[in-house]
Amino acid sequence: MGVSHGRMEDLWSGTLELKVRNLVGLAELLEVPPAEILAVGCPHAQAAGRRLADWIGPVEPPFAARRAEQESAAAEAEGERLRRMVRQEIAAALGSKARGKAK
């Protein structure tokens, strides 16, 4: 969490203030999103009249577009692989029929 054991009493008494990095550390420890800790700890903050997206527009992590492109490319490659396999199976089936008629 980023707060030493000796300082926990200061934290509980209110003489030590948490920093964002402390909340992020706690969230990692609990395996929950940091936003959930803020939502529970500061419910009045959720009642704000505006959202950050109102100021800066919709926000996506920079890796989100890259991940979508990779998933799309992977799906296309998988589709091509399946099409190739189906073509091979059809060709093999037609080839064995042609060989059977020739006998």
Provide DSSP, 35-71: HHHHHHH-GGGGG-SS-HHHHH-----HHHHHHHHHH
* First-to-final CA distance of the chain: 78
Q: Above 80 in pLDDT, residue 46?
A: no
Q: Are residues 41 and 69 in the same domain?
A: no
**pLDDT, tens digit (0-9, with 9 covering 90-100), for 2-30:** 555 566 677 667 777 778 888 888 889 89
The token duo for 50 is 């505006």
In a domain, 53, yes or no: no
Q: Are residues 35 and 64 in the same domain?
A: no
In a domain, 54, yes or no: no
In a domain, 33, yes or no: yes
pTM above 0.75, yes or no: no
Q: Are residues 39 and 80 in the same domain?
A: no
Domain that holds residue 84: 59-103
Provide the domain count of the chain: 2
* Count of positions (residues) in the chain: 103
Q: Are residues 98 and 66 in the same domain?
A: yes
Q: Above 60 in pLDDT, residue 66?
A: yes
Calculate mean pLDDT across residues 34-41. 86
Pair 37, 21: CB distance under 8 Å: no
**pLDDT, tens digit (0-9, with 9 covering 90-100), for 79-91:** 999 999 999 999 9
Give me the pLDDT at residue 7, please: 67
